[in-house]
């Protein structure tokens, strides 16, 4: 199933989680293992050189690997068999040192970690770009008035900049999460049969350290064959990120509705059109993001369910990760990629935002009137009076301001000039500008931090 890959994923995710990358990740482990063992005096250097020379995915018969993996129970066993045969073609003696002291899970887990590293780096890069776009957008529209909506109803005025700053604030937390999971997830898996490296004797720890250095991975204190919290955390991080991306996509798509018309995804040839209705401009980027936000949580639960594994090597749970976890990361990375595309050319219709502020004929200012009136007559009496005025305005299709100006009991406490001022949306922005400043300061501070290698 590859026809829809470009719709739901991104070029970087496709590359990181391709079949070739999966195979090459395991082969990189085997090559590094041979070199580390040679450096520690476990196997001859000549054998390590011969093994490394054959650890290239293009040398392998993938169709045979697929067939044999079903019988072997995993991909590493037939991969090691083919690697051994390839080495033997050049040096039968060296072939005897392939996969020395390791187990299949060492190759598979470490191979996936090697795939995960560039995938996370690509996501960090794209997330940084998206945050930069949102920071610019928030600053530009810090005073652009828009209706604040609660429960999908008009509530009170706010600014588009404040809305965007909320998006940005959430994504900045995800940037920190991605940094943190790199520290915990990008670690070596190397334990041999039951995690003791017994086949390497007393030199097991030395080989493990050399292997971690070869692969530029952290060395854990102990192998983690059946302790899957690292991968579980990656999945949960992807689930949280997908949820936030979905929230942003939901907001944009809601504001693209014909009746609202405040935002619009970038257009272009072949983008967002309908097969039957020429006038349509669909939120295709948002649709992709929302699809990921719908799919990822169920996949995350599969990864978490797979954590309950038996003793030193799991049965079934480990296998459940093999396709699920790449899909979780791939979908989240794809959602990030497509939302970045939508935001990069987002069209903001500030005039329509202003028009929509008046769609309820002043009802969105009812809270402000109630608060000001409550200072004179008390909260309960003020609420009753303003609710009655709102009901009259709705029934008679009048502007709330005009109803209030025609109500002597309210004019007695709120003079005409004061009432008219209460219907100015700019008076309802509160601390929004200072809040935007704080988010932008946090974003700048994050960008000023030195990047880690591989980001």
- Please, are residues 43 and 100 in contact by the beta-carbon 8 Å criterion? yes
Residue 200: partners with Cβ closer than 8 Å, 6 or more residues away? 37, 42, 101, 192, 207
Alpha carbon distance, N-terminus to C-terminus of the chain = 30
Residue 148 β-bridge partners: 156
* In 56-173, beta strands by DSSP E: 145-150, 153-159
- Residue 455 to residue 453: CA distance in whole angstroms: 6
- Please, are residues 299 and 324 in contact by the beta-carbon 8 Å criterion? yes
- Show the tokens assigned to 25: 């990740």
Distance of CA 167 to the CA centre of its chain: 13
Residue 337: partners with Cβ closer than 8 Å, 6 or more residues away? 9, 10, 12, 13, 126
- Residue 173 to residue 207: CA distance in whole angstroms: 37
- Please, are residues 138 and 39 in contact by the beta-carbon 8 Å criterion? no
- Please, are residues 69 and 23 in contact by the beta-carbon 8 Å criterion? no
Alpha helix (H) ranges present in 186-307?
204-215, 229-255, 284-305
Exposed/middle/buried for residue 31 (C-beta within 10 Å: 0-12, 13-18, 19+): buried
* DSSP code of residue 218: B
- Show the tokens assigned to 3: 């026809």
- Residue 215 to residue 198: CA distance in whole angstroms: 22
The upper half-sphere exposure of residue 144, i.e. CA atoms within 13 Å in the direction of its Cβ, equals 19
- Show the tokens assigned to 140: 């530009």
- Residue 225 to residue 342: CA distance in whole angstroms: 40
* b/e map 246-259, b = 16+ CB within 10 Å: bbbbebbbebbeee
- Residue 318 to residue 358: CA distance in whole angstroms: 57
Distance of CA 329 to the CA centre of its chain: 8
Report the catalytic residues. 274, 313
- Residue 293 to residue 90: CA distance in whole angstroms: 50
């Amino acid at each position: 199933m590859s026809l829809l890959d470009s719709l739901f994923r991104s070029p970087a995710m496709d590359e990181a989680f391709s079949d070739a990358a999966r195979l090459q990740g395991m082969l990189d482990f085997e090559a590094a293992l041979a070199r580390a063992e040679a450096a520690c005096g476990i196997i001859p250097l000549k054998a390590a050189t011969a093994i490394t020379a054959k650890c290239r995915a293009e040398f392998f018969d993938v169709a045979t690997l697929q067939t044999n993996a079903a019988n072997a129970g995993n991909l590493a066993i037939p991969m090691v068999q083919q690697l051994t045969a390839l080495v033997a073609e050049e040096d039968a003696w060296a072939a005897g040192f392939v996969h020395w002291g390791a187990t299949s899970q060492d190759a598979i887990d470490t191979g996936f970690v090697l795939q995960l590293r560039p995938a996370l780096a690509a996501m960090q890069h794209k997330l940084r770009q998206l945050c930069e776009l949102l920071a610019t957008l928030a600053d530009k529209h810090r005073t652009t008035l828009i209706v604040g909506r609660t429960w999908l109803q008009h509530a009170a005025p706010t600014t588009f900049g404040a809305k965007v700053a909320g998006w940005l604030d959430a994504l900045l937390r995800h940037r920190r999460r991605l940094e943190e999971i790199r520290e915990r997830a990008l670690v070596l898996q190397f334990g041999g049969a039951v995690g003791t490296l017994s086949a390497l004797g007393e030199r097991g720890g030395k080989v493990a350290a050399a292997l971690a250095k070869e692969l530029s991975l952290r060395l854990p204190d102990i192998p983690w064959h059946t302790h899957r919290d690292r991968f579980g955390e990656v999945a949960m991080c992807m689930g949280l990120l997908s949820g936030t991306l979905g929230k942003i996509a939901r907001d944009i798509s809601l504001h693209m509705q014909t009746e609202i018309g405040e935002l619009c995804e970038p257009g272009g040839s072949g983008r967002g059109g309908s097969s039957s209705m020429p006038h349509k401009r669909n939120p295709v980027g948002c649709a992709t993001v929302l699809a990921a936000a719908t799919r990822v949580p169920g996949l995350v639960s599969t990864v978490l369910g797979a954590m309950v594994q038996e003793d030193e090597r799991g049965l079934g749970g480990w296998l459940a990760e093999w396709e699920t976890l790449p899909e979780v990361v791939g979908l989240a990375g794809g959602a990030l990629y497509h939302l970045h595309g939508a935001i990069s050319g987002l069209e903001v219709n500030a005039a329509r935002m202003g028009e929509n502020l008046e769609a309820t004929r002043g009802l969105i200012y009812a809270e402000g009137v109630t608060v000001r009136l409550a200072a004179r007559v008390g909260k309960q009496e003020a609420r009753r009076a303003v609710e009655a005025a709102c009901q009259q305005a709705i029934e008679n299709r009048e502007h709330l301001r005009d109803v209030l100006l025609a109500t002597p009991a309210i004019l007695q406490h709120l003079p005409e000039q004061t009432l008219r001022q209460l219907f100015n949306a700019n008076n309802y922005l509160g601390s929004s500008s200072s809040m935007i400043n704080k988010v932008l300061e946090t974003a700048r501070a994050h960008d000023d931090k030195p990047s880690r290698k591989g980001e």
